[in-house]
A and B are shown apart, each in its own frame.
Chain A
Amino acid sequence: MRRHLGSLPIQVLAYFTLLELMLVAAILYWPNFRDNIDSLRALSGPIPALQDMLTQLEETGVVGYITGQHFFKGCNTLGCAAAVLFAVGAVAGEVHRGTLEIWLARPISRGRLLTERWVAGALALGLPIFASTATIPLLADRVDEVVDLAPMFLCAVHEWIFLLAIYSLSFLLSAVGSHPTKIALLVLFLSTFEFAIYMVKVWTQSSLFRLADIQDFVDIESARRLDWAILAPLLACIAVLYAAALFAFRRRVP
């Protein structure tokens, strides 16, 4: 466990720093954005999905803007990459470097080995999201806006669970595969494809990112509660993916 955590703190710190930098830039840009939204809408003419997004932001104000910038844009993009990065090395990384046998040879059950890695990666994925979210009220204050922290944390929980599904898929592929780079490229390709679909207006509803977009976050913020209609299936999906990874790992041969 400690060995696996070796480089994780540095990765988590880098992930948090990038998220925070994006968040700071986005919030400090808010007054400019608010004042020029009509010009931006004119510019986004060729992309109807983007125009809809701008309309949505105009209607929801600073909360819609911040959730869009932080969760939909920042966490979805960086978080996807982090989810893949934290998951692919779990088992496939050991196979790739030839250390699977020594990892398994200790008197520790496979269930425990896998669970420790899953939990470590899941926490590494969530921690920067929660930490950066905690700074939102302070940053909003800098542009004379008031944002309540509690609903922002609910949005962070929603985003974390959404990313955990991508993490769990990558984790399963790592448990059955042997090439971490190939697995990472595959999942990143799928994520990019899903994000691209989201930007095509007629296909938006078919994209996975519909489960963690501005509308969802604005709804959570206004209702001040989690959307279990989305989260329950996501949690079920995570459980199934983890069980499948454990099943595959128990049959894995060095």
Chain B
Amino acid sequence: MTQALPGRARPLERRRRLIQWLVAVGANLNLPGFFTGQIYQGASKSVCVPFLNCYSCPGALGACPVGTVQSFAVNRAVPWYALGTVLAAGGLAGRAICGWLCPFGLLQELAHRGRRVMRPIPVLLTRLKYVIMVGMLPAAAWIVGAGGFGTTYFCAYICPAGTLEAGIPLLLANASLRALAGWVFSWKIAILVVLSAASVAYYRPFCRTLCPLGAFYGLFNRVAVLRLRFAEPLCARCNACTAVCPVGLDVPATPNSPDCILCMRCTQVCPTGALRFGLHETAVATTRAASVEEVK
């Protein structure tokens, strides 16, 4: 499906991009760390951010919830604080966290920038993120190595954010760490290269196929306080929303799908105001026929 982004969707898209940049820079403000090869060790490191942002990134000021949850699981402890943080964030805004705040999502969007062809991703691949989400904690807790402890398997073997935000900058700046690089690092670089290439062709491939945090937030899309509001009686079936959806959803058929990242392009192009993001349902006329006729 090919569709240029209509002009009326662009102001919100620019605002979203600005917010993504502000969050990405604000969450990684320890800029000297990129040159010294050291990570930030201030008090804010005890605060879990609600999005994927590796805490070993030299610039990171906060803690990644995925890494935190896994490290607690390794110690067979329940991460109440990290779980509470992501639960509250998910209950408040669902995957809008992915669409508006996640720095790794921003990087993938930048790689995809300018491409208008929306390629669907095979459904089986989009289900992988749920397998990772469900398997991550038990694996960290119960699949143990020689020392009797598990490891943060997602971070160690999959997470491309850790490779890009922490591995590459720290290895470039820190010679002692470079000496430790082995096959696991090569494997993670390979994953990063594949996902980077995929990001050029596909919109946010990591978010859609592998991210356990995105899978978790997606579960809340239908019940989050701030969510997409679809007033079916107002829908003119013009499919303008579906045409601009970057993740290829049939928006009227599946509003608030777990795969929706709430970029809100659809709300901007809907000619009848049937789609809206917010706290309350849209006020609608009592019959669809009457309402659609009214706006013709």
User: A and B from one assembly?
Assistant: no
Residues on B facing A (Cβ under 8 Å): none
